[in-house]
Structure 1
Amino acid sequence: MAYFLETLFGGLMSGMLYALVGLGFVLIFKASGVFNFAQGAMVLVAALSMARFSVWIPQWLGFENLLLANILAFIVSAGVMVLIAMLVERLVLRHLVNQEGTTLLMATLGISYFLDGLGQIIFGSSVYSINVGMPKDPVFILDSLFEGGILISLEDLTAAVISAVLVALLAFFFQYTSTGRALRAVADDHQAAQSIGIPLNRIWVIVWVVAGIVALVAGIIWGSKFGVQFTLSTAALRALPVVILGGLTSVPGAIIGGLIIGVGEKLSEAYIGPFVGGGIEIWFAYVLALVFLLFRPQGLFGEKIIDRV
């Protein structure tokens, strides 16, 4: 039982990280109706910005306080993501209003490759580290119930709590604020939203800014755990099954999908992996996503679209 709970907790904490990355896809899709292939590049640029500015700012200002350096680096990195959002809207999305979804999809692919190259030009191509003070040492809990206790990673637990808080804030934002309702209206019908006075350009800037902040938090967590390198842009691929399971239009769906994927990966690797030679954790999520695409393509909480003619 102790081993099962240890594996379960590890899966839940990994699932929250997957959900956080998946939220970036959901946010953009809800506002524009297009799958944002640039989300991985946004996570990469955000992590690179945080990693480099946390080093550069103390050098420029002449101090060694780690906490202050991280706070200033976070503010500057958030500003970088806001600037990217404004440029994307001004230079790309503004000229593609009411275009086909395929056109917008290809635009996000172009944005992705551009951000990858821009990040390498500005920040370099080395492997960097992010130190935001997250605890690294694991701890044992429930010693009185199970012999030896249950091993829990404090770093994973801290990351899961941060992810959960951010997810809750975003859910509240979409459901209970006027801007959130405007975002949902734009997602349902661009032209109808414009006809009632909702400024489409401003809404797209807002949603890309929010997605950029989500990417920044995800980049900091992933960078703190695994280091910042250009393969980080592929981390978004780990979130694809999450949004397929939960539904591309559902913020709660991203949470549930992330938890299912995280727990499923850990449990299948722990209990089935030894019988088949291991490696299940690598492909489990994609096989599960394929099953959903075959039998419930809209996901658990996605909207089922019916075209009537």
Structure 2
Amino acid sequence: MAFFLETLFGGLMAGMLYALVALGFVLIFKASGVFNFAQGAMVLFAALAMARFAEWIPQWTRIDNKIVTTTAAFILAACVMFIVAWVIERLVLRHLVNQEAATLLMATLGITYFLEGVGQTIFGSEIYKIDIGMPKDPVFLFDSVFEGGVMVNQEDMIAAVIAAVLVALLSVFFQKTKTGRALRAVADDHQAAQSIGIPLNRIWVIVWCVAGVVALVAGMIWGSKLGVQFSLTTVALRALPVVILGGLTSVPGAIIGGLIIGVGEKLSEVYLGPFVGGGIEIWFAYVLALGFLLVRPQGLFGEKIIDRV
């Protein structure tokens, strides 16, 4: 039972990290109707910015305090992501208002390669480390219930809490604030939103800024776990099944989908892997997502689209 709980907790924590990346997809699509293929590149670019600023700040200022350096690096990286959002809106999205979804998708593909190239040019292509002070040693819980307790990774646990807090804040932002409601109105119909005075360009800058901050938090956590390297862009591919499962327009769906995928991957690898030769963790999420596409294409919490003719 203790081993099962360890696997379950590991899956839940991994699922929260998947959900954090999936949130970037949901935020952009929810506010603009654009499937942002550049989300993985945004996570990488943000993580590169923070890792390099954390190295450069002590050299520039001679400050060796880790907390001060990390905080300053996070703020500077967030400013960089705000600038990236403004440039994307100014140079790309502004000229593609009311265009077909396929056109916008191809634009985000171009943004992907641009961010990867610029990130490598500015910050370098080495493997960098992000140290945000999260403890990496495991702890043992429920010692009085199970012999030896249940081993839980402290870093994963803290990362899951950070992700949960960010998700809660975003849910409140979308549901309770005037700007959040304007974002949803723009997603429903660009022309109708413009006709009632909602400034489309400003709304897109806001949502890309928010998605940039989400990418920064995701990149910071994944970079702390895996190191900042260009393979970090593949994290977004791991989040695609989460989006399909939860629904492209649902913030809570990203959470539930992430938890289902995380737990499913861990349990299937441990309990089914020995029977199929291992490797099930790699493809399990995509097979599950394919099944949902066949049965419920809009996902668990997505909005069903009905075209009237």
Distance in 1 (CA, whole Å) between partners of 2:151 and 2:262 is: 17
Taking the aligned partners of 1:63 and 1:276, their CA distance within structure 2 comes to: 53
In structure 2, the residue matched to 1:127 is 127
**1:290 CA drift (Å):** 0.5
**In angstroms, what is the RMSD of aligned CA positions?**
0.5
- The answer for the alignment partner of 1:44 in structure 2 is 44
Aligned residues: percent identity? 79
CA offsets 1:61-106 (integer angstroms, 9 cap, x no match): 0121111000100000000000000000000000000011011000
TM-score normalized with structure 2 length: 0.99
- Counterpart AA for 1:301: F
Q: Which amino acid aligns with 1:10?
A: G
Deviations along 1:198-225, one digit per CA (max 9) or x if unpaired, are 0000000000000000000000000000
Partner of 2:229: 229
Deviation at 1:276, TM superposition (A): 1.3
Distance 1:223 1:236 in 2: 14
Q: What TM-score do you get using the length of structure 1 for normalisation?
A: 0.99
Partner Cα separation in structure 2 for residue 34 and residue 201 of structure 1: 14
* Distance (whole Å) between structure 1 residues aligned to residue 73 and residue 194 of structure 2: 37
| Distance (Å, rounded) in 2 between the aligned partners of 1:63 and 1:157 | 30
Secondary structure at the aligned position of 1:152 is classed as strand
C-alpha deviations, 1:217-258, integer Å up to 9, x for none? 000000000000001011100000000000000000000000
CA distance in 2, matches of 1:111, 1:63: 35
Alignment partners' CA distance in 2, 1:81 and 1:63: 24
Matched, 1:307 2:280: no
* Mapped pair 1:202 → 2:205: no
Measure how far apart 1:26 and its partner are: 0.2
Distance in 1 separating the partners of 2:164 and 2:245:
18
> For this pair of structures, how many residues does the alignment match?
309
Q: Which runs of 5+ in 1 are unaligned?
A: none
List per-residue Cα deviations over 1:134-160 (Å, max 9, x = no partner): 110001110100011100000000000
The CA distance in 2 between the partners of 1:131 and 1:285, in whole Å, is 30
- Shift in Å, 1:57: 0.7
Q: For 2:152 and 2:13, locate their aligned partners in 1 and report how far apart those are by CA, in whole Å.
A: 10
* Structure-2 separation of matches of 1:13 and 1:175: 26
Q: In the TM superposition, what is the alpha-carbon distance from 1:274 to its structure 2 partner?
A: 1.2
Q: Give the whole-Å Cα distance in 2 for the aligned partners of 1:94 and 1:308.
A: 29
Corresponding residue for residue 241 of structure 2:
241
Counterpart mapping for 1:269-280 below 5 A: 269-280=269-280
Name the CA distance, whole Å, in 2 between partners of 1:32 and 1:63.
42
Distance across 2 between alignment mates of 1:13 and 1:144: 23
Partner of 1:152: 152
Give structure 2 stretches of 5+ with no counterpart: none
* Amino acid aligned to 1:289: A
Post-superposition offset of 1:31: 1.1
Any runs of at least 4 consecutive aligned residues in structure 1 with deviations exceeding 2 A, and if so which?
Answer: none
Match of 1:288 in 2: 288
Structure 2 distance, partners of 1:41, 1:52, is: 16
For 1:73 and 1:63, the matched residues in 2 are separated by: 12
Q: Structure 1, residues 137-191: CA drift from partner, whole Å, max 9, x if none?
A: 0011101000111000000000000000000000000000000000000000000
Aligned residue in 2 for 1:181:
181
